[in-house]
Amino acid sequence: MDLVIVRVAFCLVLSVVCYFFRPFGLNPWISAVVGFVAACLVILFELRVRALSLRRLFGAVAGSILGILGAFLISLVLRNSLPAGPTQSLLQLFVLLLMCYVGLVIGTSKGDLLNLSALGDLFSSERAGGKRNLKVLDTSAIIDGRIADMAETGFLEGAMVVPEFVLRELQMVADSQDSSRRQRGRRGLDVLQRMQANAQLTIQIIPDDYPAIREVDLKLIELAKDLSAKIVTNDFNLNKVAHLHNVEVLNINDLANSLKPVVLPGERMNIMILKEGKEYNQGVGYLDDGTMVVVDHARRMIGRQVEISVTSVLQTASGKMIFGKMDDPGRLEGTRGMEIAN
């Protein structure tokens, strides 16, 4: 709130100063408007600079200095090649602006590639704290929505990076003709907006792209390599491919499976049989967390609550499966037959 007051005061002060000093001989009110617009541009520049990492800011400064040095050398050539006059002055000014702009843009875009660890502990800590803790978000993780809850609880440290090509893919899903895909895409945009609104989270949207690579998954892998970051996803195939490229992956499904309660063989539980299984005379039910429970000799118990004992637990890539059996399936089936007869 204090920063907003300072910015408003800055705009007002610059407007008043321009009103009284009337730069370029302009009308006082026009001068005040020009001063207010200039103050707004300065504040916009300040906001953009604040969003830059220390490495990119250092790259921007270094690029600007090199650009000014190059403009000075070119100006010396122009001074000896052209006669003094408006043309020479205009060319020197143009070269200065051009070299400063090129140096600023290139320095900002290539700042992450600089190795600043040799300059002191300040850059070393920024490199270790920022780069190592970067998390690149996949489209599937954003659409899933659980990433927002995980981040808000504090289990995900560091900045979360969303590249522009992931945003484009998310927008394509949100604009899809299929209603279910469109709903998923819009939910992903809402999740991303919710994360940006949280002051405790750092969400960076970066323009980095790889035009030579068409697949979004491979672009994510290359970006994670360049940033030394981890990929956050729930895509099984991306998880496997990233491991082949020696890129660390945080799989949301793996985390959810590891948090499910441990079930041991011989343990007893009550389960509602909802449908028949793939094998003969099997019934299938689900726990509250979505874990599938396959029960032998329970096909006739569909729609009923039964007590079972766990025989085995199978951990698969898609989740956990529990196998069990009823203690006395013949007695339960006979009881049901008596109920139907009555």
Q: Residue 53: its pLDDT value, please? A: 67
Asked, for residue 127, whether it belongs to a domain, the answer is: no
pLDDT at 131: 45
Same domain, 109 and 171: no
Task: Residue 246: give the domain boundaries.
Answer: 132-258
Q: Region 228-237: what's the mean pLDDT?
A: 87
Number of domains the chain is built from: 3
Q: Which residues contact residue 315 at a Cβ distance below 8 angstroms, ignoring those fewer than 6 apart?
A: 257, 321
Question: For the residues 246-253, what does the mean pLDDT come to?
Answer: 85
Within a 10 A sphere around the Cβ of 114, how many other Cβ atoms? 16
User: Tell me: the pLDDT tens digits for 27-38?
Assistant: 888 888 888 888
Do residues 73 and 147 share a domain? no
- Please give the model's pTM, rounded to 2 decimal places: 0.48
Cβ-based burial of 246 (10 A; exposed 0-12, middle 13-18, buried ≥19): exposed
Q: Are residues 162 and 251 in the same domain?
A: yes
Mean pLDDT of 107-131: 54
Residue carrying structure tokens 């360049």: 226
Contact indicator for 107, 63 with CB cutoff of 8 Å = yes
pLDDT confidence tier of residue 115, bands split at 50, 70 and 90: low
Same-domain check for residues 136 and 159: yes
- CATH number of the structural domain spanning residue 178: 3.40.50.1010
- Asked whether residue 240 is assigned to any structural domain, the reply reads yes
pLDDT at 125: 45
- Indicate whether 226 and 325 sit together in one domain: no
Alpha helix locations (H) across the chain? 2-21, 28-51, 54-81, 86-109, 121-126, 139-144, 146-152, 164-174, 179-197, 216-227, 236-244, 252-258, 329-341
Name the more confident of 55 and 178: 178
Percent of the chain past pLDDT 90, that is, above it, reads 2
Domain presence at residue 122: no
- The predicted pLDDT at position 7 comes to 81
Residue 127 is predicted with a pLDDT of: 44
Of the residues 258, 288, 304, which one is the last residue of a structural domain? 258
Determine the Cα–Cα distance for residues 198 and 187; give it in Å rounded to an integer: 17
What does the pLDDT read at residue 121?
A: 45
Report the pLDDT averaged over residues 269-289. 86
What's the mean pLDDT in 214-239?
87
- Model confidence pLDDT, tens digit, residues 296-318: 888 888 888 888 888 888 876 66
Q: Looking at residues 157-173, what average pLDDT do you find?
A: 86
